């Protein structure tokens, strides 16, 4: 349920629709007009019961208990530093509501997911389910786009259940390289075809997000695939397909807007959005310099409060929701030690992915590792100009993908331990 609703959004009952929720997912039953459903509920309400049920099950079933895993030390240090930052934060209530609570739930979700996904068959089903759920949201977004219903805050851009088009682009940036890789050899024939068609759908959706950071990140990810993988013929074919999708996007989308977005990449110094990011970054550097060790507390709400109160010098005409940079946001929120712990977690993740794709006999894990390596590289480069991790759902996507990569590592440690005992 958690994996499915990561993609389409959690179903809420009798909840007033927020202006950023997809209208295509708002409906009611004809026989029960007093009961209405909508997409946009908090995923925390599903993750927390999952963690509680897993904790109770782990008491009774040893197979549900987490074994040793290379991601555990950096993850625990990262969460520990975030907790200390919360304790000493001048805005603890805000930090808990929009920061620490989500970090703890996300970290717990990573651990639980890697335990439950230890069998390779479960990993295949879970990854396929994520692709299906995001595909449903993408189809809904394309349906709205065809009716000229765009994201409210940025007209002419596609509207998915991940809310902002930049956030949608960040998710697709992780999934498109993974889909290309798995469609080549990660599944049997029919699932490969389905995965390939879903990836084409993601590619078209990516174009219509008009997210320049996601576009550049996808370019980096494609370059990693081409250089990293020996099957260059298939990858070049996939890149040619993406180019064809770009031409399709020009023909069915608002051409003037697309051309303006493409031109702005070459003249980024004169782009107003780039100027706003530079203003934010200058203020965030001063925030880090003021509290370099523990920061002001995790969470985008803390950032908004501190930035507007103490570090706002040049108004940008918009709410400073986040720092538009993953690394600066972490440095300001949980300090430089927290940022270093996050980088350690990433380094350990790349190590797990590399060992898994080389050691695993199962083709799925090898192709999964190749696609995730490329997608994660593009995601981290795009993070220099955006901060998609302020969204809890994007964070869960990242944690899930890392859990699927490290699930086999957990099993490997158990086998080694049993061999030593034997």
- Contact, 200 vs 241, CB < 8 A? yes
Flag whether 61 is in a domain: no
Three-class HEC string of the chain? CHHHHHHHCEEEECCCCCCCCCHHHCEEECCEEEEEEEEEECCHHHHHHHHHHHHHHHHHCHHHCCCCCCCHHHHHHHHHHHHHHHHCCCCHHHHHHHHHHHHHHHHHHHHHHHHHCCCHHHHHHHHHHHHHHHHHHHHHHHHHHHCCCCCCCCCCCCCECCECHHHHHHHHHHHHHHHHHHHHHCCCHHHHHHHHHHHHHHHHHHHHHCCHHHHHHHHHHHHHHHHHCCCHHHHHHHHHHHHHHHHHHHHHCCHHHHHHHHHHHHCHHHCHHHHHHHHHHHHHHHHHHHCCCCCCCCCHHHHHHHHHHHHCCCCCCCCCCCCCCHHHHHHHHHHHHHHHHHHHHHHHHHHHHHHHHHHCCCHHHHHHHHHHHHHHHHHHHHCCCCCHHHCHHHHHHHHHHHHHHHHHHHHHHHHHHHHHHC
What distances in angstroms separate CA 270 from CA 59, 273, 322, 323, 332, one per listed residue?
A: 59, 9, 22, 20, 27
- Asked if the structure places residue 358 within a domain, the reply is yes
Residue 417 pLDDT level (bands cut at 50, 70, 90): very low
State the Cα–Cα distance between residues 62 and 286, nearest whole angstrom: 49
Residues 327 and 399 in one domain: yes
Is residue 96 a part of any domain in this protein?
yes
pLDDT at 297: 94
pLDDT digits (tens, 9 = 90+) for 397-407: 999 999 999 98
Using N-to-C axis directions, what is the helix angle for 72-87 and 101-116, rounded to 10°? Answer: 160
Q: Does 113 have pLDDT greater than 90? A: yes
In a domain, 305, yes or no: no
Same domain, 19 and 89: no
Does a structural domain hold residue 56? no
What per-residue confidence (pLDDT) applies to 413?
A: 41
pLDDT exceeds 80 at position 31: no
359/223: higher pLDDT: 223
pTM of the model: 0.87
Reply yes or no on whether the pLDDT at 217 is more than 80. yes
pLDDT value at position 412?
42
**32 plus 117 within the same structural domain:** no
Whether residues 30 and 116 fall in one domain: no
For 94-103, 243-252, 275-284, which range has the lowest pLDDT when averaged over its residues?
A: 243-252
136 lies in which domain range?
Answer: 44-50+70-274+313-410
pLDDT band at 24 (very low <50, low <70, confident <90, very high): confident
Shared domain check, 76 and 31: no
Using one digit for the tens of pLDDT, what is the confidence trace for 140-158? 999 999 999 999 888 789 9
**Which of 207-221, 269-283, 348-362 reaches the highest mean pLDDT?**
207-221
What's the pLDDT at 39? 65
Same domain, 28 and 140: no
Distance CA 225, CA 180 (A): 9
What pLDDT, in 10s, does the model give residues 117-141? Answer: 998 899 999 999 999 999 999 999 9
Same domain, 128 and 26: no
- 225-254 pLDDT, tens digit each: 877 665 555 556 656 665 655 555 545 555
Q: Are 35 and 128 part of one and the same domain? A: no
Question: How many domains does the chain divide into?
Answer: 2
Q: Which two tokens stand for residue 284?
A: 């965030």
* Residues 32 and 115 both lie in one domain: no
Question: What pLDDT digit, counting tens, does each position of 357-392 carry?
Answer: 666 567 888 889 989 999 999 999 999 989 999 889
Is residue 79 in some structural domain?
Answer: yes
Q: How far apart are CA 138 and CA 140, in angstroms?
A: 5
| Least confident interval from 87-101, 258-272, 325-339, 349-363 | 258-272
The mean of the pLDDT values for the chain is: 83
Phi, psi (deg, nearest 5) at residue 333? -80, -50
Total residue length of the chain: 422
Domain membership of residue 234 (yes or no) is yes
Q: Note whether 27 and 117 are same-domain residues.
A: no
- What pLDDT does residue 76 have? 96
In the predicted structure, residue 416 carries a pLDDT above the cut 50: no
Q: Is residue 320 predicted with pLDDT exceeding 60? A: yes
Q: Could you read off the pLDDT of 181-209 as tens digits, one per residue?
A: 898 876 778 888 888 899 999 999 998 99
Q: What is the pLDDT at residue 155? A: 79
Which one of 68-72, 110-114, 407-411 scores highest in mean pLDDT? 110-114
State the distance between the two ends of the chain, measured CA to CA, in whole angstroms.
Answer: 39
- Spatial CB neighbours of 218, under 8 Å, sequence gap ≥ 6: 172, 173, 176, 177, 206, 242, 378
For residues 84 and 12, state if they share a domain: no
Shared-domain flag, residues 268 and 373: yes
Checking if the pLDDT of 411 tops 50, the result is: no
- Return the percentage of the chain with pLDDT > 90, whole number: 46
Inside any domain, residue 24: yes
Q: Say yes or no to pLDDT of 409 above 60.
A: yes
């Amino acid at each position: 349920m958690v994996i499915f609703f990561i993609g389409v959004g959690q179903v809420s009952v009798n909840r007033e629709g927020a202006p950023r929720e997809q209208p295509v997912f708002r409906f009611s039953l004809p026989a029960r007009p007093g009961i209405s459903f909508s997409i946009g509920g908090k995923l925390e309400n599903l993750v927390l019961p999952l963690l509680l049920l897993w904790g109770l099950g782990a008491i009774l079933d040893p197979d549900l208990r987490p074994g040793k895993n290379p991601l555990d030390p950096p993850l625990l240090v990262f969460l520990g530093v975030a907790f200390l930052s919360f304790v000493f934060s001048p805005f603890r209530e805000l930090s808990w509501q929009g920061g620490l609570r989500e970090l703890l739930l996300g970290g717990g979700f990573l651990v639980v997911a890697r335990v439950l996904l230890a069998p390779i068959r479960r990993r295949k089903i879970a990854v396929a389910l994520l692709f299906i759920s995001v595909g449903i949201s993408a189809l809904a977004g394309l349906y709205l786009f065809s009716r000229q219903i765009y994201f409210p805050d940025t007209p002419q851009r596609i509207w998915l259940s991940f809310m902002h088009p930049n956030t949608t682009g960040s998710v697709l940036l992780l999934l498109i390289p993974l889909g290309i890789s798995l469609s080549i050899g990660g599944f049997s024939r029919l699932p490969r075809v389905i995965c390939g068609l879903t990836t084409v759908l993601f590619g078209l959706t990516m174009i219509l997000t008009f997210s320049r950071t996601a576009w550049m990140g996808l370019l980096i990810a494609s370059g990693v695939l081409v250089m990293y993988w020996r099957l260059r013929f298939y990858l070049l074919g996939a890149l040619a397909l993406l180019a064809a999708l770009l031409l399709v996007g020009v023909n069915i989308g608002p051409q003037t807007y697309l051309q303006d977005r493409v031109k702005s990449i070459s003249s980024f110094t004169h782009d107003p959005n780039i100027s706003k990011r530079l203003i934010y970054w200058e203020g965030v550097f001063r925030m880090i310099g003021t509290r370099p060790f523990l920061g002001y507390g995790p969470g985008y709400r803390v950032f908004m409060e501190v930035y507007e109160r103490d570090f706002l010098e040049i108004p940008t005409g918009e709410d400073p929701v986040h720092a538009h940079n993953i690394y600066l946001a972490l440095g300001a929120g949980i300090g430089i030690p927290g940022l270093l712990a996050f980088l350690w977690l990433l380094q350990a993740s790349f190590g797990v992915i590399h060992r898994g794709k080389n050691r695993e006999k199962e083709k799925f894990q090898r192709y999964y590792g190749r696609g995730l390596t490329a997608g994660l590289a593009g995601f981290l480069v795009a993070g220099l100009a955006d901060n998609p991790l302020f969204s809890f759902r994007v964070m869960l996507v990242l944690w899930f993908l890392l859990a699927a990569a490290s699930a086999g590592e957990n099993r490997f440690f158990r086998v080694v331990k049993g061999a030593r005992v034997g």
